[in-house]
A and B are shown apart, each in its own frame.
Chain A
Amino acid sequence: MPKLTINGQAVEVPAGTNLIEAARKVGVEVPHYCYHPALSIAGQCRLCMVDIEKTPRPTIACNTPASDGMVVWTETDRVKETRKSIMEFHLINHPLDCPVCDQAGECWLQIYYMRYGLYDPRMRDEKVHKPKAVPLGPHVMLDAERCILCSRCVRFCDEVTGTGELGIFHRGDDSEIGLFPGKELVNKYSGNVVDICPVGALTDRDFRFAVRVWYLDSTASICPGCARGCNIEVHVNRRRPHHNEGRRVARLKPRFNADVNRWWICDDGRYGFTFVDDKTRLVAPSSREDGAVSDATWEEAIAAIVGALGRFAPAEIGVFASPKMANEDLWALRRVLEQCGIRRVAFRVPPPVPGDEDTLLIRSDKNPNSRGAELLGLDGDGAAILRAACVRQVKCLWVFGHDLLASAWDPAETDAALRALSLLIFIGTNSNATSERAQWVLPAAAWVEREGTYTNFEGRVQRFRQAVEPLGQALPEWDILGRVLQALGAEVGAPRAERWFRELTSGVPAFGGMSYQAIGDTGAVLNAPSAGQPRSEPASRTPLR
């Protein structure tokens, strides 16, 4: 492993490490535009120049591997002067768009100009004009004038998605990025080109002109869109609620996790949060009698559930847990089921069309916590529960989030099953055809409105945190279920997600020894022998007691 010195600090790095990464190791940032650790080296922007002793002139750090005995200086007068000149080149044709540019506030041209540029402009000629506000696809907008031709987006499409839609056309100061005429940027990961664009050339159509980025707050979270559990940041707009028509979640951004999603998320995940502020959100408990819906208090709702749990025999009650519920919720549900002796429980409801899957991130299971629900022993036969309802063996059905009428199951049979029920209780974030049939509908908080953990398909337990307040009276499922347990006379501690997680870690061996602290921001892998495998063996599941 080569040992070198960067700005006087000694560092040892694996062979082949370039000087940008080596400098990062000792906390030195080498400014750059085109270099990205996930992509091939382009050497295009020339900004990462550093001085290396015994080398006649500054060298680009991105394409220089660290070697033994190298002495690197990143802040010499010559390097600073070089950076300034290169910034001047980059900005020759760059429009003064900042006041109307979405990138302002998180733009590396602005940041590096303030840090290393600060020259008086010498250009007197007209700037070269190029196409502006060109939609490249459903999610990405191109402003060719703002582009500095770093080619990150081109390399992303070539090397990460392998779709190769983008290119740099023409040459010299006519060069511009674009698509083959008539084509669209429609790959499943197109939003990532906006993230890696260091300037305002590629912006997000969904976020365009919505909120100034300096009004956003960021919360570490997990994408609930599939079993991968990509690490994300939830950007919320609390400080200017009148912007963007009151939409609270402004955008989702990928959060680096070397073991899960690296720098990326898919478009389905990135734009899949709209249900949070949707008109279909359930905001208050309600009951339906003879077609008339009336709001109820939580006390009335809990009393109604507890009453039902006592009125029906345990064998007459069926429960559809959801693989979209957090581990904490599922554990609280399991406590309720054990308290009442209910054994008819399932969580899988097959989707009408099988989910798509690829080799990069996207999993066909569009639920974030199927693995958790399996490990908690909730994996029963859902179709059998519906069949039992048809013949009135099950009379009370308790559904978490699912729309049973929009599944792969025969809608007529599901309809008959729902029709035969004496009582249908629905708990979820949004209304759907199934909730429309329920006698009791209870509002659950969406994942961005609460905290919890999901277990991904690889057995990695990851935390998501609260970014916004729950809408209306919505509560996390663990809270609702905790109230039910309490009303049933069981011992329930402090109403906090972490408490339920602690209880879960002592109840399910696979989670043993875990804590919110240990999970941290990057997750922790289950410790049961086979728990780290994508599909668990039945033996590793803990059966209902």
Chain B
Amino acid sequence: MSASTVAFSDAQLAEVRRLQALYPDARAALLPVLHMAQETFGHISLEAEEYVAGLFDVTPAHVHEVVTFYTLFFRQPKGRHVVAVCHNLSCHLAGAPEIIAHVMRRLGIGVGATTDDGRVTLQAVECLCACEHAPMMQVDDRYEFGLTPEKVDQILEGLR
């Protein structure tokens, strides 16, 4: 992404100002604004971090701190879909390692990688608060419960 394309629209800039005014310390709006940046630019590049820093009067290093702290900020271009398989305790006991191995075989990529066609990014994540349905995973904004290799195949098929 070139530097010139990292810029919010006027409406987005108005939203940034609205968010900043909500908090005693404008810096608190950094998180929602970074989410806006990720939605707008696809991922948060270093250029985007510097751009956001400029909107907040903080240094790029301090935006970098926030972006690297949270795993839901993508610092590299991500796939059109994000598959996040839980590998925390309950899911682990219920077979998450096999599920992850199966997804890796199916997609031909490792954890943290994106398929060559840019279709899917695979992640292994900590507890998503659905232990009663273990093993589970999150696909984009939906939860998928009670995973089996067959069910996983079906779900992956549906991702275009």
Residues of A within 8 A of B (CB): 163-171, 178-183
| A-contacting 9-mer, from B31-39, B53-61, B87-95 | B53-61
Shortest CB distance A183–B (Å):
7
Which 10 pairs from chain A and chain B are nearest by CB?
A164-B59, A167-B61, A167-B65, A180-B60, A169-B68, A180-B61, A170-B68, A171-B69, A180-B64, A167-B62
B61 touching A165, Cβ below 8 Å: yes
By beta carbon, the residue of chain B nearest A166 is B61
By beta carbon, the residue of chain A nearest B71 is A171
By beta carbon, the residue of chain A nearest B67 is A169
Cα A163 to Cα B59 with chains together (Å)? 8
B46 touching A167, Cβ below 8 Å: no
By beta carbon, the residue of chain B nearest A171 is B69
A180 contact set on B, CB distance < 8 A: 46, 49-50, 59-61, 64
B46 contact set on A, CB distance < 8 A: 180-182
Interface residues on B, range: 10 to 19
Cα A459 to Cα B142 with chains together (Å)? 72
Interface members, chain B 40-82 (any A CB < 8 Å): 46, 49-50, 58-62, 64-65, 68-69
List 26 A–B pairs whose Cβ atoms lie within 8 Å, in order of A's numbering.
Answer: A163-B59, A164-B58, A164-B59, A165-B59, A166-B61, A167-B59, A167-B62, A167-B65, A168-B65, A169-B65, A169-B68, A169-B69, A170-B68, A170-B69, A171-B68, A171-B69, A178-B61, A179-B61, A180-B46, A180-B49, A180-B50, A180-B59, A180-B60, A180-B61, A181-B46, A183-B61
Which residue, B50, B58, B60, B65, has most C-beta atoms of chain A within 10 A? Answer: B65
Shortest CB distance A90–B (Å):
21
By beta carbon, the residue of chain A nearest B46 is A181
Cα A181 to Cα B62 with chains together (Å)? 12
* New A-B contacts (12) at CB < 8 Å, excluding given A164-B61, A164-B62, A170-B68: A165-B61, A167-B62, A167-B64, A169-B64, A169-B65, A169-B68, A171-B68, A179-B61, A180-B49, A180-B59, A180-B64, A183-B60
Cα A180 to Cα B58 with chains together (Å)? 12
A165 contact set on B, CB distance < 8 A: 59, 61
Shortest CB distance A160–B (Å):
14
A178 contact set on B, CB distance < 8 A: 61
